[in-house]
Structure 1
């Protein structure tokens, strides 16, 4: 998720990345490129990442439904943030795992909303 143009967006424990579901990645890329000048990087046939001026994100193949956006926060200390989430009453849905560009975990807040936190490797 990290690249040199997004490093100025890496503010500890702030929303930095959004993941959307899309039934047509090419259509989503055309729309968001034309609407907001987002640029895209494909990571295989089922995922494309976007880069915007103030936020980054991605689209994964799936059927869009209300509530399907995954909010991703950035952390300078993933383990510490994970501990704080658990102590505050969050539950870990996907424990820390690696992906191209870093590591992350996903959790549910007390209302059941799922969010993720990532850190560069």
Structure 2
């Protein structure tokens, strides 16, 4: 697989206290199967869609127990250099760059508005083995209450261009790699739509063949519907929270409605 450009969403994982419960939930909602746990790396367990690696789940390390959250990793040719850029631009490095065997190097960070994310410098593990198909990564959005901080930070750390959605009702931007490759959205968390306890985060969208069926499967397993399902020019989508507190979204990209909004 060709190396992904710097700043490309390249991988996602989450810690779950009840690992078997998480595996059962995402198997039902996203159709995932799971590989063998890697005891050498804290029982890190990869998820697969049609035999292709799409994500991973792992038990929390001692002292990290609590509500689960998906972490999106952005590609870097040099994790140590990216960590320095994060610090120089007002971000916080939560976990300094570390080598993970021959798989690659990683660090964990937070932008100045409190949005946590990861950085992955690929080795033998090159990231998502497929995207944009059912069961795999489709899109991600930075949810922040301080958009001006995120808007300055991410293009300073990664080679992003930005565009603003021409819509008076929401404050939304796109981070692009090149002129025609959108890779990440940025949504302002309004007081009306996001309760005060909602934390800034990166919301990961997983592709599904049918949004409504995925929502029903999640609810049957004690997942909570937060928003939707809703039709859009990009697909029918919904936001959910799994039984262990990890937020995520599902989107059926084959079911679209309406005109694509203008970006300026």
Check whether TM > 0.5.
yes
Residues 8 and 35 of structure 1: CA distance in aligned 2, closer, same or farther (over 3 Å): farther
| C-alpha distance in structure 2 between counterparts of 1:74 and 1:17, whole Å | 8
Tell me which of 7, 11, 29 is aligned to 1:13: 7
- Report the 3-state secondary structure (helix = DSSP H, G, I; strand = E; otherwise coil) of the residue aligned with 2:24: helix
Alignment partner, residue 110 of structure 1: 112
Q: Deviations over 1:19-58 (max 9, x none)?
A: 2232322232233234333342321264312244898322
Q: Higher strand fraction: Structure 1 or Structure 2?
A: 1
Q: CA RMSD in A?
A: 2.9
Q: How many residues of Structure 1 are paired with residues of Structure 2 in the alignment?
A: 114
1:119 Cα deviation after fit: 0.8
Give the alignment of 1:66-81 within 5 angstroms.
68-81=69-82
Structure 2 unmatched runs, 5+: 124-264
Is 1:37 matched with 2:37? Answer: no
| C-alpha distance in structure 2 between counterparts of 1:38 and 1:14, whole Å | 23
Residues 99 and 23 of structure 1: CA distance in aligned 2, closer, same or farther (over 3 Å): same
- Report the 3-state secondary structure (helix = DSSP H, G, I; strand = E; otherwise coil) of the residue aligned with 1:13: coil
| C-alpha distance in structure 2 between counterparts of 1:14 and 1:39, whole Å | 25
- Report the 3-state secondary structure (helix = DSSP H, G, I; strand = E; otherwise coil) of the residue aligned with 1:112: coil
Structure 1 unmatched runs, 5+: 1-6
- Report the 3-state secondary structure (helix = DSSP H, G, I; strand = E; otherwise coil) of the residue aligned with 2:94: strand
Which one has more relative contact order, counting CA pairs under 8 Å at least 6 apart? 1
Cα pair 2:46 2:53 within 8 Å, conserved: no
Give TM-score, length-normalised by structure 1: 0.70
Alignment partner, residue 90 of structure 2: 89
Cα pair 1:21 1:64 within 8 Å, conserved: no
Residues 91 and 118 of structure 1: CA distance in aligned 2, closer, same or farther (over 3 Å): same
Alignment partner, residue 58 of structure 1: 56
| C-alpha distance in structure 1 between counterparts of 2:66 and 2:3, whole Å | 27
Residues 11 and 35 of structure 1: CA distance in aligned 2, closer, same or farther (over 3 Å): farther
Q: Higher helix fraction: Structure 1 or Structure 2?
A: 1
- Report the 3-state secondary structure (helix = DSSP H, G, I; strand = E; otherwise coil) of the residue aligned with 2:9: strand
